[in-house]
A and B are shown apart, each in its own frame.
Chain A
Amino acid sequence: MSVPNQSRFAATVLLLLKLRAVLVLAILLVAFSILSPSFLTVNNLSILAKHVAISAILAVGMTFVILAGGIDLSVGSVAGLAGMVAGGLLTVGIGGHTTGAVAAIAIALLVSAAVGLLNGLLVSQLAVAPFIATLGTLYIARGAALLLSQGKTFPNLAETATRGSTGFSILGQSFVLGVPLPVWLMVAIAAVAVVVAKRTPFGRHVYAVGGNERAARLAGIRVERVKLLTYCFCSLCAGLVGLIIASQLESAHPATGETFELNAIAAVVLGGTSLMGGRGSIGGSIIGAFVIGVLADGLVMIGVSEFWQIVIKGGVIVIAVTVDQMQTRLQSRMAAAPSHTGGLREAV
């Protein structure tokens, strides 16, 4: 008689483990609301969401790459490069001809996608290990960003002497229905990504390639094309993030985005996506990005020193990964035992 009880207990534990990111987020929100009276205000939540949008957009792109069994270390550099390309086009131009904001943004996104294409080709066609290929493009893109201005900052992107207002500040600074535009962009990208991941053949192919590449190939999935597309999408997200930051600061700095890749990977892992590929979800990564963002802003609000902030962030990541291991072990034990666990699969 004790066997079904035990398995129900295990199932509850498993559910809690699967919901851990949501639980951690809820705990953080409650804790910071108690510790700082201005935390739970509309204004602050709007700013918080704007900060989270940066890492969440990166994390959505990164999730596809990781689900397909890869990793992209170049996102921070691509963000920096995109900002510099747009900044250069708006203020210096090509051969003295500056462009408007729309053209600058479009070209910067094209350049970002081109870096993604390079990542994808290196990984899928030349079979370079993703860690190495994107480590290489991390340096190439950062170097290119530095070369564009010889290391200088491109200032005054919102208004230039020749054109007056460029309209570039709209991307990062404007509001739609009282919500910052970057937050809408995050919502839109996340919504599209969820639909693509869950409801399209491409989404299923991404999971299949990451889960078992050989099997996916034998099943007739064009593995190379799937990988290529994940890297291009990831770089596009990174480029958009760089543009949002440049627009918010009204200036582009070549060092922008350093260590962003680590934040993005941390958000993905916190959200329960396996670094081995094939298992995880977009929604999880968004919640992971919120955990990191709430932690960062909340600790600043209550005045915790930078050094402790770093230690606490690291602690949360280590605990999350440890719990991930526990979940995997518990899951395989339950799969071996004759019980029903079906309803839990799509918990997050």
Chain B
Amino acid sequence: MKATLAIACAGLLLAGCRARDTRPLVAIVVPSQDNPYFKAEADAAAARAVELGYRVRVDAHDDDAYRQDNLVDSAIASNAKILILDNAGTDASVSAVRRATRAGIAVFLIDREITARGIAKAQIVSDNDQGARLVAAEFAHSLGASTAGHSEYAELLGRESDTNAQVRTAGFHAVLDRFPTLVLVAAQSANWSQAEAFSKTETILQAHGDIRGIIAGNDTMALGAVAAVKSAGLKGITIVGFDGSPDAVAAIEAGEMQATALQPAVLISRMAMDEANIFLRAGSTGKPEVQVIPCELVTKTNAETYVNFEKKK
């Protein structure tokens, strides 16, 4: 028994020691790999890194700053040259980014900013506020806010402790609150989740039978609302989301959703990896630290030109 165990252990050790790979390591850390947005972002960064001749490791911190800390430590321990990070919180991530930078890793932040400047080599983010205003304007237009009479709408918010959820709802209301005809009758958090958005929308539709529109902080929740509206047998309810996920783009093409704001996740990941590559060679990216990339409005008229968080070539 002991002998078999020893042999098994030795085998495992041997299997662990693959041929030495001398390519420099890029550590990619994103919030999760079961969300299409973060997955597209991680895949795009990894693919570009491999094209540029790097070795890649992808991990997820599950929006847990402590876990992110451990992943940064392990990137330092394994001598990574570049860290591409979609961080776990604007304030909570500063110390981890500083530690990585002090250890000689070039840190490139994507998707979400941190509050401190001058630590990361670049912070490339999509403009959540501009994107939120874009979809809100389309939403108001579709409800006929400036011409028709009073219309009731509901809002599904993301996880309320998440900065992006706050920025998006503020952007929505910066536009919608200017129309006195639009009346917000229910605002509930569905924690970014489709199943939760489904059951909460079902309940909201019961309480407020005259709802004409539902605006959601991300596409997953918008799709949950689509399913709930369908199951209630209602027609003509305007639903908009945020992110530009492939499922939402398909729902827009099918006429079930009105619009979404596409965050150029793939573009941002590629930019970050390209700039990191230039930085390693030249010692500077030649670009400002904070780069804000605008979101794009996806509606039925242009939906077929978008695929997996980027514009088709």
Q: State whether A256 touches B195 (Cβ < 8 A).
A: yes
Q: State whether A300 touches B203 (Cβ < 8 A).
A: yes
- Determine whether B21 belongs to the interface, using a CB cutoff of 8 Å to chain A: no
- Determine whether A328 belongs to the interface, using a CB cutoff of 8 Å to chain B: no
Query: Complex Cα distance A82/B150, Å?
Result: 44
Using Cβ atoms and an 8 Å threshold, which residues of chain A touch B186?
Answer: 300, 303
- Known contacts A151-B33, A153-B247; is-contact A250 B203 (Cβ 8 Å): no
- Known contacts A151-B33, A254-B34; is-contact A38 B206 (Cβ 8 Å): yes
Q: State whether B33 touches A146 (Cβ < 8 A).
A: yes
Of A39-47, A63-71, A124-132, A203-211, the stretch lying at the interface with chain B is: A39-47
Q: State whether A47 touches B33 (Cβ < 8 A).
A: no
- Determine whether A248 belongs to the interface, using a CB cutoff of 8 Å to chain B: yes
- Determine whether B142 belongs to the interface, using a CB cutoff of 8 Å to chain A: no
- Known contacts A254-B34, A303-B187; is-contact A155 B247 (Cβ 8 Å): yes
Closest to B197 in A: A249
Least distance between A55 CB and chain B CB atoms (Å):
11
Contact of B200 among A248, A253, A255, A300 (CB under 8 A): A300
Q: Annotate A21-43 by CB proximity to B: 1 below 8 A, 0 otherwise.
A: 00000000000000010110101
- Determine whether A51 belongs to the interface, using a CB cutoff of 8 Å to chain B: yes
Least distance between A51 CB and chain B CB atoms (Å):
5
- Determine whether A251 belongs to the interface, using a CB cutoff of 8 Å to chain B: yes
B residues 214-232 near A (Cβ < 8 Å) are 220, 223-224, 227, 231
Q: State whether B199 touches A51 (Cβ < 8 A).
A: yes
- Determine whether A297 belongs to the interface, using a CB cutoff of 8 Å to chain B: yes
Indicate the size class of the contact surface on chain B: 20 to 34
Using Cβ atoms and an 8 Å threshold, which residues of chain B touch A47?
Answer: 202-203, 206
- Determine whether B189 belongs to the interface, using a CB cutoff of 8 Å to chain A: yes
- Determine whether A327 belongs to the interface, using a CB cutoff of 8 Å to chain B: no
Contact of B34 among A41, A44, A151, A307 (CB under 8 A): A151
- Known contacts A153-B247, A251-B223, A300-B204; is-contact A306 B34 (Cβ 8 Å): no
Contact of A249 among B32, B191, B227, B250 (CB under 8 A): B227
Q: State whether A36 touches B188 (Cβ < 8 A).
A: no
Least distance between A145 CB and chain B CB atoms (Å):
8
Query: Complex Cα distance A300/B35, Å?
Result: 26
Closest to B206 in A: A44
Least distance between B202 CB and chain A CB atoms (Å):
5
Least distance between B193 CB and chain A CB atoms (Å):
8
Q: Is the interface of A mostly helix, strand, loop or mixed?
A: loop
Using Cβ atoms and an 8 Å threshold, which residues of chain B touch A102?
Answer: none
Closest to B201 in A: A300
Query: Complex Cα distance A119/B157, Å?
Result: 37
- Determine whether B36 belongs to the interface, using a CB cutoff of 8 Å to chain A: yes
Q: Annotate B130-163 by CB proximity to A: 1 below 8 A, 0 otherwise.
A: 0000000000000000000000000001001000
Contact of B207 among A38, A151, A255, A256 (CB under 8 A): A38
Q: State whether B39 touches A250 (Cβ < 8 A).
A: no
Q: State whether B227 touches A43 (Cβ < 8 A).
A: no
- Determine whether B11 belongs to the interface, using a CB cutoff of 8 Å to chain A: no
Query: Complex Cα distance A146/B33, Å?
Result: 8
- Determine whether B198 belongs to the interface, using a CB cutoff of 8 Å to chain A: yes
Closest to A260 in B: B195
- Determine whether B286 belongs to the interface, using a CB cutoff of 8 Å to chain A: no
Q: State whether B206 touches A301 (Cβ < 8 A).
A: yes
B residues 61-90 near A (Cβ < 8 Å) are none
- Determine whether A152 belongs to the interface, using a CB cutoff of 8 Å to chain B: yes
Q: Annotate B178-200 by CB proximity to A: 1 below 8 A, 0 otherwise.
A: 00000000111101011100111
Q: State whether A253 touches B206 (Cβ < 8 A).
A: no
Q: State whether B187 touches A151 (Cβ < 8 A).
A: no
- Determine whether A245 belongs to the interface, using a CB cutoff of 8 Å to chain B: yes
Query: Complex Cα distance A80/B189, Å?
Result: 22
Q: State whether A307 touches B160 (Cβ < 8 A).
A: yes
Query: Complex Cα distance A39/B195, Å?
Result: 21
Q: State whether B207 touches A36 (Cβ < 8 A).
A: yes
- Determine whether B209 belongs to the interface, using a CB cutoff of 8 Å to chain A: yes
Closest to A43 in B: B206
Using Cβ atoms and an 8 Å threshold, which residues of chain B touch A166?
Answer: none
Using Cβ atoms and an 8 Å threshold, which residues of chain B touch A44?
Answer: 203, 206-207
- Determine whether A98 belongs to the interface, using a CB cutoff of 8 Å to chain B: no
Q: Annotate B217-257 by CB proximity to A: 1 below 8 A, 0 otherwise.
A: 00010011001000100000000000000010010000000
Q: State whether A248 touches B231 (Cβ < 8 A).
A: yes
Least distance between A3 CB and chain B CB atoms (Å):
51
- Known contacts A153-B247, A155-B250; is-contact A253 B209 (Cβ 8 Å): no
Contact of A301 among B36, B160, B207, B247 (CB under 8 A): B207
- Determine whether A7 belongs to the interface, using a CB cutoff of 8 Å to chain B: no
Least distance between A294 CB and chain B CB atoms (Å):
11
Closest to B39 in A: A151
A-B contacts, 9 of them at CB < 8 A, read A44-B203, A51-B203, A151-B32, A155-B247, A255-B34, A301-B203, A302-B207, A305-B160, A305-B189
Rank and list the top 4 A-B pairs by shortest CB-CB distance, nearest first: A306-B189, A44-B206, A151-B34, A151-B33
